[in-house]
């Protein structure tokens, strides 16, 4: 049995992210951990932004998520890769990643998508002490490239 702590997508879900290294980060994929509950016909937008504005955004559908898992089931959890055409280069600083619903999305108890909270610091380090499951950050992984490593 897997227990998932899922924040339901309503208007949008936002995760603040800090990148602390001095060297530039080359991100080949953003990989949020998502839960889909019978939301078969909808599309969503993943967005990366900072104070300058939106740096990257990409739409994806539930059908594409199902295809990535090779399933026709309507209930699933998945680390779903959002892949930019070219790697996104990030400098040290603060960013926001957002999950935004498409125009026809409507969530209720029988149909919704959610972003799964991480347990403690398993995926990414948090700069605060979470007081409960709900105050954990959303789970996201990054596929990063680094020059000079063979």
Smallest gap from Cβ 89 to other proteins, in A, equals: 32
Q: How far apart are CA 107 and CA 119, in angstroms?
A: 25
- Answer yes or no whether residue 78 interacts with other proteins by CB under 8 A: yes
Q: Which token pair is 58?
A: 């990409």
x-or-dash string of contact with other proteins, 39-68, rule CB under 8 A = ------------------------------
Work out which of 7, 14, 25, 29 binds other proteins, going by CB under 8 A: 7
Q: Which of residues 95-124 bind other proteins (CB under 8 A)?
A: 107-110, 114, 117
DSSP state of 134: G
For 19, what's the count of Cα atoms within 13 Å in the CB-facing half-sphere? 19
Q: How far apart are CA 18 and CA 37, in angstroms?
A: 30
CB closer to other proteins out of 15 and 107: 107
Angle value at C-alpha 15, between 57 and 82, nearest 5 degrees? 35
Work out which of 6, 25, 29, 100 binds other proteins, going by CB under 8 A: 6
CB closer to other proteins out of 37 and 46: 37
Q: Which token pair is 116?
A: 């799964």
């Amino acid at each position: 049995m897997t227990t998932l702590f899922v924040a339901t997508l309503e208007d949008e879900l936002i995760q603040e992210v800090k990148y602390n290294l001095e060297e530039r980060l080359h991100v080949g994929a953003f990989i949020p951990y998502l839960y889909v509950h019978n939301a078969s016909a909808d599309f969503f937008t993943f967005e990366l932004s900072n104070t300058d504005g939106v740096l990257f955004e990409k739409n994806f559908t539930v059908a594409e998520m199902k295809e990535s898992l090779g399933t026709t089931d309507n209930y699933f959890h998945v680390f779903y890769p959002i892949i930019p055409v070219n790697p996104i280069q990030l400098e040290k600083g603060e960013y926001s990643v957002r999950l935004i619903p498409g125009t026809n999305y409507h969530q209720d108890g029988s149909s919704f998508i959610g972003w799964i909270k991480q347990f403690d610091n398993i995926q990414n380090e948090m700069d605060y002490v979470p007081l409960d499951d709900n105050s954990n950050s959303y789970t996201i992984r990054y596929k990063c490239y680094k020059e000079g490593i063979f």
